[in-house]
Structure 1
Amino acid sequence: MEKQKILIVDDDQEIVDTVSYALENAGYEVAIARDGNQGLALAERDDPDLMILDMMMPKRSGFLVLEKLRRIREQPLPVIMITGNEGSRHKAYAELLGVSDYLQKPFAMDRLLTAVADLLAKD
């Protein structure tokens, strides 16, 4: 059986290392993008099953990535947005753009893994 592919889009090396390690140990294939532009390119090229997306990044924010993804993809991509931002307006906007889940940093890794499993089980 083919592994489900998860694209992590985040500029924080520590988050990328920790999340990718946990996902790989849980049996997922992981791709990594360091900024929003690279994330969009990989999302188009690799067609991941799910994206974990940071809100604040260089070159293109998570919001701009979401906006573009919604325009270019025929099938919606499940997206878990992660952020250090505490504003409720940001969460509301992310939900308006169709994020599947929204986690505030720091988050419990088991919470992220549960969200990933739940979203991928819906497919």
Structure 2
Amino acid sequence: MARVLVVDDDPAIRSLLTDLLEMDGYEVSVAVDGLAALRAVETVNPHFVVLDVMMPGLDGFGVLAAIRALPGDPVPVLMLTAAAETDANAKAWANGVDYYLAKPFTPDAVLDLVETVLAERVVD
């Protein structure tokens, strides 16, 4: 079963994405901030990460940098942000994000992306 890590400080978004992904058969772990995300990446070893940009403490860019510094095949990362700034979008791409969606997003857009990416990857 594919493991997805959802990282967002908004409980409503975490709940929505968790319910959506679990109903589609994914094993979902959640983290409420950047530091918890780093711990979860180490312990869960996710196949896909859905990552908020603006969080207290360590933001999504810091988490993304830490994920990209890990050895082995890079885990696909989808960044979600309410930031309408073009700088955030450019910074995400420059830092190695795989996918980027602005909030508000449609749940189907996230699910379709996760399904497409994980269907192309070998999941242990």
Q: TM-score, normalised by structure 2?
A: 0.93
Overall identity of the aligned pairs, in %: 39
| Secondary structure, aligned partner of 2:74 | coil
Distance apart, 1:80 and its partner CA: 0.5
Q: Deviations over 1:39-81 (max 9, x none)?
A: 0111011110000000011120000001111112322010000
- Cα distance in 2 for partners of 1:87, 1:32 equals 26
Q: How does 1:12-51 map to 2 (within 5 A)?
A: 12-51=10-49
Q: How does 1:69-108 map to 2 (within 5 A)?
A: 69-108=67-106
Q: TM-score, normalised by structure 1?
A: 0.94
2:111 alignment partner in structure 1: 113
Distance apart, 1:8 and its partner CA: 0.4
Equivalent AA in structure 2 for residue 63 of structure 1: F
- Cα distance in 2 for partners of 1:100, 1:109 equals 18
Unaligned runs of 5+ in 2: none
Q: Superposition RMSD on alpha carbons, in Å?
A: 0.9
Number of aligned residue pairs? 121
Structure 1 stretch displaced more, 37-46 or 67-76: 67-76
